Amino acid sequence: MQIQDLPYPDPGVPDARSGPRFLWWLGRNQLGGQLASLAWGLLHFLSVSALPFCVGLAVQAVVDRSGARLALTGGLLLLCGVGVALGDTMLHRTAVTNWITAAARVQQLLARRTAGLGSALTRRVAAGEVVAVSTGDVEKIGWFVEAVSRFTAAALTVVAVCVGLVVYQPALGVVVAAGVPVLALAVLPMLPRATRRADVQREKAGRATELASDTVAGLRVLRGIGGEELFLKRYRRASQEVRSAAVRSARMWSLISAVQVLLPGLLMIAVVWRGVELAHEGRITVGELVTVYSAVMLLTYPLRHFEEIAMAYSFARPSARRAARVLSLERATESGGSRGACVPDGDLYDPRTGLLAPAGRFTAVVCGDPDAAGVLAERLGGHPAEQGVSVLLGGVPLDELPLDSARTAVLVQDKDPVLLSGSLRDLFDVPSSGAVGAREALAAAQCGDVLDALVQGAPTAGDPMDARITERGRSLSGGQRQRLALARSLLTDPPVLVLDEPTSAVDSHTEARIAEGIRSLRAGRTTVVFTSSPLLLDLAERVVLVHEGEVAAVGLHRELVHGEPRYRAVVTRETDAEPAAPGAPDDLTALQDLDGMDDMDELEGIEESA
């Protein structure tokens, strides 16, 4: 695989059982590139290692006053120089190709897994970890994969040089052959500690990345409640922990590097000391002494790759482990679908809870537990939490449909939809039935003020669809982002639309108009809305109360408010609890408690309750 051939037509099915297994799988899938890099590496390293023998022959030719041998040696030196230049150039080319293609394969695998899991991914893995895996971890994995072939070439070269020295000059060659394994293995006792420190550094860096991502995502909320300083302190602490871990890791690697310099120096001193004695005794010639000395000196070059492969593996192993963790995530049924590519029609039924959403009707679902509502919405979209529990659409299990067909049939918009950067036209460039236009969807979602905010001060051609949206819509308020995401879902016009709290961040007047817009635009289409808003519930044709994982009541909003106490408690927030004690924590105390929060979900809850 060459760089110009990327992306892969099929990146393959990874072995994600562990980090080392994943690295091994990557290496096997790049066998051609690895062999090419190995061949060019051998040419380069062997050419470099042959230089001392040529120099020794030249010195001896001068001592013996042999012009013919000197000319021959000059030719050999020229040939070695060509080999060094050609091998180094092609080794770099193939190594970079292996690095980039390995990283591209991992990125394609991650993208495929992300697309397959959809919104379920961030419920099972922190968003910051996904970002860290798809950026920094991909680079480190690629580094190790490409370093393997260079290390193999260096190791074979070291063996060849040692054998050559033993044959060329046994008296000194034995000293070198005995000392080189010590050089190569001396750092092994230090590698476990260096690896552990590198793992700690990666974990702390990943945690800091997650914290930064969560803080930026909730910056608007933090400013609203005055929590910037608290989260800034948290990030400072995490940053200092990363710095300390990096320093401790660097100390170990600097020690390993020092050993890699010290031991070859000691070996060189031993060789020169013994060589001078042998030369005085007349047992070796000056040329042979120069050859052995030069060979030992140049051996430090391939030996440096022993340190590099150890460092690359220590950094790649935790990265591969995190990548394997993401790639090992599966839907409860990971088949390609036993049925053909069709979009069934009919009632939507969840056998786990008994929830029934009749075809072509507006059904509202009330759950006392927001987390349970999110899990149920995910299951309605074809992502069951366990094997054997599949939602039925028109009597057909969604798990038996190909993933594309299942997603065409049912669209789920979760509580925190993502807006990608680009123009509004790009945002609405999604697969759709064509029955709903962009302006109709924007009007139903009450996005008039959102369009005004986008075009205000923007150099557009007068068409709001050309207005730019910043990354994740950070320049917009939570309610504006929510309405744009709702408009995008309405534009898609799927046979079944599942909305999880689509109006939690808007005021009551806007919410009432949005409720009417959804009902009007989705007339005759199956719509399921998870909400506790009376404005939405009052317009629903069917209201279902899910309590403790089962359908507890079905009816209209007005009927359930008067006849079902559990429903009334969720919708009107009425409880029989005693008033709060005088010593109950106030808002300031709650703000101080923010220092112990782990992510922005709790902050979003504060914003919704506000």
Instruction: Please indicate, yes or no, whether residues 445 and 310 belong to a single structural domain of this protein.
Output: no
Whether residue 79 is predicted with pLDDT greater than 70 in this model: the reply is yes
pLDDT digits (tens, 9 = 90+) for 374-407: 888 888 887 665 555 788 988 888 878 877 788 8
Q: What is the pLDDT of residue 610?
A: 39
Taking the model in full, what pTM does it have? 0.66
Instruction: Please indicate, yes or no, whether residues 196 and 242 belong to a single structural domain of this protein.
Output: yes
CB 98 within 8 A of CB 149: yes
The chain-wide mean pLDDT, for the chain, equals 81
Instruction: Please indicate, yes or no, whether residues 317 and 440 belong to a single structural domain of this protein.
Output: no
Q: Per DSSP, which regions of 415-462 are E strands? A: 422-423
What is the enclosing helix (H) or strand (E) of 90? helix 67-117
Is 341 a domain residue?
no
pLDDT digits (tens, 9 = 90+) for 266-296: 888 888 888 888 888 888 887 778 888 888 8
Report how far apart, in Å, the C-alpha atoms of 30 and of each of 24, 37, 41, 256, 477 are.
Answer: 10, 11, 16, 30, 47
Whether residue 40 is predicted with pLDDT greater than 80 in this model: the reply is yes
Helix (H, G, I), strand (E, B) or coil at 425: helix
Of 48-57, 271-280, 410-419, 589-598, which gets the smallest average pLDDT? 589-598
Q: What is the pLDDT of residue 209?
A: 73
pLDDT digits (tens, 9 = 90+) for 507-520: 888 999 999 999 99
Measured distance CA(529)–CA(504) in Å, rounded: 12
For residue 546, name the pLDDT band (cuts at 50, 70, 90): very high
Q: Give 238-267 as a DSSP string.
A: HHHHHHHHHHHHHHHHHHHHHHHHHHHHHH
Whether residue 27 is predicted with pLDDT greater than 80 in this model: the reply is yes
CB 511 within 8 A of CB 535: yes
For residue 332, name the pLDDT band (cuts at 50, 70, 90): low
For residue 24, name the pLDDT band (cuts at 50, 70, 90): very high
Backbone angles phi, psi at 548, to 5 degrees: 55, 45
Instruction: Please indicate, yes or no, whether residues 154 and 273 belong to a single structural domain of this protein.
Output: yes
pLDDT digits (tens, 9 = 90+) for 154-169: 999 988 888 888 888 8
Instruction: Please indicate, yes or no, whether residues 370 and 407 belong to a single structural domain of this protein.
Output: yes
Is 433 a domain residue?
yes
Helix (H, G, I), strand (E, B) or coil at 116: helix
Q: What is the pLDDT of residue 584?
A: 39
Instruction: Please indicate, yes or no, whether residues 19 and 85 belong to a single structural domain of this protein.
Output: yes
Query: Residue 470 is part of a domain; what is its CATH number?
Result: 3.40.50.300
pLDDT digits (tens, 9 = 90+) for 97-146: 999 999 999 999 988 888 777 666 666 776 666 777 777 788 889 999 99
Is 236 a domain residue?
yes
Whether residue 227 is predicted with pLDDT greater than 80 in this model: the reply is no
Structure tokens at 375: 């899990």
For residue 225, name the pLDDT band (cuts at 50, 70, 90): low
Q: What is the pLDDT of residue 317?
A: 86
Q: What is the pLDDT of residue 200?
A: 84
Q: Identify the top-confidence range among 69-78, 88-97, 373-382, 450-459.
A: 88-97
Structure tokens at 513: 């108009």
Structure tokens at 272: 């020169």
Nearest to 135 by CA among 125, 147, 123, 127: 127
Whether residue 578 is predicted with pLDDT greater than 80 in this model: the reply is no
Helix (H, G, I), strand (E, B) or coil at 533: coil
Q: What is the pLDDT averaged over residues 315-333?
A: 81
Instruction: Please indicate, yes or no, whether residues 219 and 281 belong to a single structural domain of this protein.
Output: yes
DSSP structural state of residue 4: G
- Residue 547 β-bridge partners: 550
Instruction: Please indicate, yes or no, whether residues 456 and 502 belong to a single structural domain of this protein.
Output: yes
Q: What is the pLDDT averaged over residues 181-198?
A: 81
Instruction: Please indicate, yes or no, whether residues 475 and 539 belong to a single structural domain of this protein.
Output: yes
Query: Residue 140 is part of a domain; what is its CATH number?
Result: 1.20.1560.10
Burial class (CB in 10 A: 0-12, 13-18, 19+), 300: middle
Domain of 316 in residue numbering reads as 12-327
Instruction: Please indicate, yes or no, whether residues 368 and 291 belong to a single structural domain of this protein.
Output: no
Question: pLDDT: is 403 or 435 the higher one?
Answer: 435
Measured distance CA(162)–CA(442) in Å, rounded: 75
Instruction: Please indicate, yes or no, whether residues 303 and 423 belong to a single structural domain of this protein.
Output: no
Which amino acid is residue 529, in one-letter code?
V
Domain count, the chain: 2
Burial class (CB in 10 A: 0-12, 13-18, 19+), 46: buried
Measured distance CA(585)–CA(298) in Å, rounded: 71
DSSP structural state of residue 416: S
Q: Identify the top-confidence range among 80-89, 173-182, 389-398.
A: 80-89
Whether residue 311 is predicted with pLDDT greater than 70 in this model: the reply is yes
Q: What is the pLDDT of residue 224?
A: 60
Whether residue 583 is predicted with pLDDT greater than 60 in this model: the reply is no
Instruction: Please indicate, yes or no, whether residues 52 and 194 belong to a single structural domain of this protein.
Output: yes
pLDDT digits (tens, 9 = 90+) for 468-496: 887 666 778 878 889 999 999 999 999 99
Is 578 a domain residue?
no
Nearest to 349 by CA among 482, 501, 496, 503: 496
CB 43 within 8 A of CB 88: no
Which amino acid is residue 600, in one-letter code?
M
Measured distance CA(535)–CA(513) in Å, rounded: 9
CB atoms under 10 Å from CB of 125, counted, come to: 17
Q: What is the pLDDT of residue 340?
A: 52
Whether residue 217 is predicted with pLDDT greater than 90 in this model: the reply is no
Q: What is the pLDDT of residue 287?
A: 76
